[in-house]
Chains A and B, each alone.
Chain A
């Protein structure tokens, strides 16, 4: 009776082992070629406007030996975690609320739409005025950067829940807290996860910018300090590369949420 032509969805990725190996090798080869081209470009042109990959690698080793690299990474991640965490704590409930109670959304929408396009960088003077040269200033800026994408996407997701799901829930007598935890929140989760990914990306962009001005530690501070203190552009580029690597790691970590079985339905076509 279960032969309605039905099957559990086949794994699309059933290629040969060799092809899989190739798909891992391709980006590695591209990275090596990028490094080689960089080195070659500097040697042929003889420029001093950009440090060579060797100089940058040496600078990274130097930072590790001085013990500042780990310290600065931890400082940046600490601020990102707090800013992003607070944004999640505020943005998620606020988005759920605004998505459900449309009059509230209509009332608040102009405020959100006016605040949203203001770059968090523009808030730096006020952040310093309010919080001084403390961790609270960049945390506040990261919070501002992350809270809007989370709130707006969550609200849109709640608003867009297909009516038949809500009607079915109502029909089965699912209401109150159970309606929120079993229907509304899971129905929005794929979109929420996508918004968290965007918000974390923006948070990481902003922490670096904020540290260039508002504090005296972290990877952003490393870059600005290396330039100001001794025009050490090898350290500048080393800081830039570390920002890139850590951004990649953060994105990889948050993408793991996309592997939750309960969100597969909403992410399949992306």
Chain B
């Protein structure tokens, strides 16, 4: 498979509080294949969100580079959409207006809204929706740009348990239907287990890749399967949590 995303020796330094540069990420190299679903997992402070922001072009690496679909990343691009942790749908626009602003093809607005199950809420403003529906609106807006790649930064972390489960299920359906590449940041090992083809486990101080773990299971994942439990326990082990 062709790599969609290539990270080459990505290092990020931030100015620290004492004037000394603080190394957030060191030497990250990783390839993500086209149509692959990859999760970045790690404790807070491991730089996984920083890495996602660098890959998306919102921040520059201090050293190294990121190549997406053959192009060196120099900034954000509508072919690759970022879904934020807190809803970034524009609160001054209705769901439909949000989707329309992002739309590549204005005749397909309704398709994107149906895809996330927001039919009937086109004229609602984000503050009139629940947290789960706001994230649905954000995903619809991302789909409207018809991207090849979606970056997701803990998109479901603020939602309740049942809403998370539904959104994960729907995200997998959309991912399979749209044949996109998804790079997904989470601190939730179970979430990564349910979603990802591969899980990239990151460590902190400085942020680096500890191990890349394949999840050799068909979806929807049987969370009682011995291999599921084995893989999960291995992940917890790598994270130093077992």
Q: Is the CB of A172 within 8 A of B102?
A: yes
Residue of A nearest to B82 (CB): A171
Of A8, A171, A174, A187, which one neighbours B92 at CB under 8 angstroms?
Answer: A187
Would you give the 0/1 interface string for A1-18, flagging 1 where the beta carbon is closer than 8 Å to chain B? Answer: 110111111000000000
Given contacts A4-B132, A5-B130, A6-B129, contact A168 B82 (CB under 8 A): yes
Interface presence of B220 (CB below 8 A): no
Residue of B nearest to A166 (CB): B88
Q: Is the CB of B90 within 8 A of A186?
A: yes
Q: Residues of A contacting B125 with CB < 8 Å?
A: 261-262, 264-265
Which B residues from 76 to 94 make CB contacts under 8 A with A?
76-78, 81-82, 84, 86, 88, 90-93
Residue of A nearest to B80 (CB): A171
Interface presence of B117 (CB below 8 A): yes
Q: Is the CB of B166 within 8 A of A4?
A: yes
Interface presence of B133 (CB below 8 A): yes
Q: Is the CB of B124 within 8 A of A171?
A: no
Which A residues from 148 to 205 make CB contacts under 8 A with B?
164-165, 167-168, 170-174, 182-183, 186-187, 189
Given contacts A4-B132, A172-B102, contact A265 B126 (CB under 8 A): yes
Interface presence of A136 (CB below 8 A): no
Report the tally of A-B residue pairs with Cβ distances under 8 A: 86
User: How far apart are A267's CB and chain B's nearest CB, in angstroms?
Assistant: 10
Interface presence of A77 (CB below 8 A): no
Given contacts A167-B82, A168-B84, contact A7 B101 (CB under 8 A): no
Counting chain B CB atoms within 10 Å of each CB, the highest count among A1, A165, A263 belongs to A1
Please report the C-alpha to C-alpha distance between residue A186 and residue B98 in the assembled complex, in whole angstroms: 13
Q: Is the CB of A2 within 8 A of B92?
A: no
Q: Is the CB of A186 within 8 A of B92?
A: yes
Q: Is the CB of A167 within 8 A of B170?
A: no
Interface presence of B145 (CB below 8 A): yes
Would you give the 0/1 interface string for B94-113, flagging 1 where the beta carbon is closer than 8 Å to chain A? Answer: 00000001100000000000
User: How far apart are A251's CB and chain B's nearest CB, in angstroms?
Assistant: 24
Residue of B nearest to A183 (CB): B90
Please report the C-alpha to C-alpha distance between residue A173 and residue B78 in the assembled complex, in whole angstroms: 6
- What is the interface size of chain A, counting residues whose CB is below 8 A from a CB of the partner? 29
Which A residues from 16 to 41 make CB contacts under 8 A with B?
none
Please report the C-alpha to C-alpha distance between residue A187 and residue B102 in the assembled complex, in whole angstroms: 17
- What is the interface size of chain B, counting residues whose CB is below 8 A from a CB of the partner? 40
Would you give the 0/1 interface string for A245-270, flagging 1 where the beta carbon is closer than 8 Å to chain B? Answer: 00000000000000001111110100
Q: Residues of B contacting A8 with CB < 8 Å?
A: 124, 128
Residue of B nearest to A170 (CB): B76
Counting chain B CB atoms within 10 Å of each CB, the highest count among A164, A189, A268 belongs to A164
Residue of B nearest to A263 (CB): B92
Q: Residues of A contacting B81 with CB < 8 Å?
A: 171-172
Please report the C-alpha to C-alpha distance between residue A4 and residue B92 in the assembled complex, in whole angstroms: 22
Please report the C-alpha to C-alpha distance between residue A202 and residue B209 in the assembled complex, in whole angstroms: 59
Please report the C-alpha to C-alpha distance between residue A5 and residue B84 in the assembled complex, in whole angstroms: 21
Of B101, B118, B145, B166, which one neighbours A182 at CB under 8 angstroms?
Answer: B101
User: How far apart are B48's CB and chain A's nearest CB, in angstroms?
Assistant: 17
Q: Is the CB of B78 within 8 A of A171?
A: yes
Please report the C-alpha to C-alpha distance between residue A200 and residue B101 in the assembled complex, in whole angstroms: 34
User: How far apart are A209's CB and chain B's nearest CB, in angstroms?
Assistant: 37
Q: Residues of A contacting B101 with CB < 8 Å?
A: 172, 174, 182
Would you give the 0/1 interface string for A27-68, flagging 1 where the beta carbon is closer than 8 Å to chain B? Answer: 000000000000000000000000000000000000000000
Q: Is the CB of A2 within 8 A of B128?
A: no
Counting chain B CB atoms within 10 Å of each CB, the highest count among A6, A7, A164, A265 belongs to A6
Please, could you name 15 A-B residue pairs with CB atoms under 8 Å apart, sorted by A? Answer: A1-B166, A1-B170, A4-B131, A5-B130, A164-B88, A165-B88, A168-B90, A171-B78, A186-B90, A186-B93, A261-B125, A264-B125, A265-B125, A265-B126, A266-B91
| Given A172-B101, A183-B90, 11 other A-B residues pairs in contact with their CB atoms under 8 A | A1-B117, A5-B130, A7-B130, A164-B86, A171-B56, A171-B78, A172-B78, A174-B101, A187-B90, A187-B92, A262-B93
* Chain A interface (Cβ < 8 Å from any Cβ of B): 1-2, 4-9, 164-165, 167-168, 170-174, 182-183, 186-187, 189, 261-266, 268
